[in-house]
């Protein structure tokens, strides 16, 4: 596997030797000083070019980066679905190579670059032939830090968590596995993860990022809470799914109380009590029940 130095030398040398490429910059995890380096990090690279059409017309030029295991062209896929995609302004190649390296390479015109350069604070310039890249501060993950909740956001989160659990339970009782699993992930877990974020934010003065899709939860949660979080994932066995539901309820309750106390919000105790009793009742209903109550 080519190392970081080799990859950067290749990326920059290609740009230096191609007159169509006028500047290069990078964003993503490799620009974040708070993210530990590992072998799975992508190279999120942007080439600022004179025009995009020649790159798109003959795609053999990307072979210079190595043997491609698989690639994705998201702009082409979007256009294929009938969505708007302006190839003349920007175009992306996501490439996984046979040595394990991955480059997410986007080409864009100078006009397109000027509209977005530096908006993502995790951006650093790598090459600027014509001094066209605006001056920006050093990279920072500030934009990705957990934000403090408003009372309205807290109320919405707690209400959604307790309200939507009835759909999860209904799906289990009806033997509708895809529905119940996806309801749990798209409603219950979304609310739970939001509360986890706020709790971690409080513990760290809202100066940290929990990463995309909570990938750093393990780093910031106490071991006991992390163990509970792990157990909110279950298999296709309905009894195990019920256990995960009630563990999620317990963890959500603990974290929500802490967040409410910190911000002087009001936790919906009645919703919690009523829905917890309701869920237990549904779990214990006979299989041939003709009525809920």
The percentage of residues in the chain with a pLDDT greater than 70, rounded to a whole number, is: 100
Q: Please state the rounded mean pLDDT for residues 228-241.
A: 98
Q: What's the whole-number average pLDDT of the chain?
A: 96
Q: What is the 3-state secondary structure (H, E, C) of the chain?
A: CCCHHHHHHHHHHHHHCCCCEEEEEEECHHHCCCCCCCCCCCEEEEEEECCCHHHHHCHHHHHHHCCEEEEECHHHHHHHCCCCCCCCCEEEEEEEECCCCEEEEEEEEHHHHHHHCCCCCCEEEEEECCCCCCCCCCCCCHHHCCCCCCHHHHHHHHHHHHHHHHHHHHHHHCCCHHHHHHHHHHHHHHHHHHHHHHHHHHHCCCCCCCCHHHCCHHHHCCHHHHHHHHCCCCCCCHHHHHHHHHHHHHHHHHHHHHHHHHHCCCCCHHHHHHHHHHHHHHHHCCCCCCCCC
Cα 160 to its chain centre, rounded Å, is: 21
260-290, pLDDT tens digit by residue?
A: 999 999 999 999 999 999 999 999 999 888 8
CA distance 265 to 21: 53
Q: pLDDT digit string (tens) for 52-90?
A: 999 999 889 999 999 999 999 999 999 999 998 899 999
Contact 117, 22 (CB under 8 A): no
Per-residue pLDDT band for 212 (boundaries 50, 70, 90) equals: very high
Q: Which is nearest to 120 in space by CA: 28, 50, 240?
A: 28
- CA–CA gap between residue 94 and residue 68 (Å, rounded): 10
Q: How confident is the model at residue 59, as a pLDDT? A: 86
pLDDT category, 144, cuts 50, 70, 90?
very high
Q: Are 212 and 220 in contact (CB under 8 A)?
A: no
- Total-model pTM: 0.91
What are the pLDDT digits (tens) for 149-188? Answer: 999 999 999 999 999 999 999 999 999 999 999 999 999 9
| pLDDT for position 287 | 87
pLDDT of residue 148: 98
Statement: residue 34 has pLDDT above 90? no
| pLDDT above 90: residue 36 | no
């Amino acid at each position: 596997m080519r190392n970081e130095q080799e990859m950067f030398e290749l990326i920059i040398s290609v740009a230096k030797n191609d007159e169509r490429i006028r500047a290069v910059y990078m964003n993503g995890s490799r620009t974040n000083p708070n993210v530990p380096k590992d072998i799975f990090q992508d190279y999120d690279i942007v080439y600022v070019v004179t025009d995009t059409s020649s790159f798109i017309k003959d795609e053999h030029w990307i072979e210079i980066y190595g043997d491609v295991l698989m690639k994705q062209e998201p702009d082409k896929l979007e256009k294929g679905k009938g969505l708007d995609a302006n190839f003349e302004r920007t175009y992306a190649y996501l490439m996984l190579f046979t040595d394990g390296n991955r480059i997410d390479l986007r080409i864009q015109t100078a006009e397109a670059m000027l509209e977005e350069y530096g908006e993502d604070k995790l951006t650093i310039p790598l090459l600027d032939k014509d001094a066209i890249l605006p001056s920006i501060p050093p990279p920072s993950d500030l934009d990705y830090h957990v934000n403090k909740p408003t009372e309205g956001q807290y109320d919405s989160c707690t209400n959604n968590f307790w309200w939507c659990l009835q759909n999860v339970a209904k799906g289990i009782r009806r033997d509708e596995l895809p529905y119940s699993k996806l309801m749990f992930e798209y409603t219950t877990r979304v609310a739970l993860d939001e509360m986890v974020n706020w709790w971690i934010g409080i513990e760290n003065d809202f100066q940290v990022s929990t990463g995309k899709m909570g990938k750093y939860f393990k780093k910031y949660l106490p071991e006991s809470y992390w163990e509970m979080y792990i157990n909110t994932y279950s298999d296709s066995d309905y009894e195990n799914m019920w256990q995960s539901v009630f563990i999620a309820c317990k963890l959500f309750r603990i974290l929500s109380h802490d967040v409410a106390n910190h911000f002087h919000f009001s936790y919906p105790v009645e919703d919690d009590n009523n829905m917890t009793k309701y869920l237990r009742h549904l779990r214990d209903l006979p299989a041939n029940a003709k009525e809920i109550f």
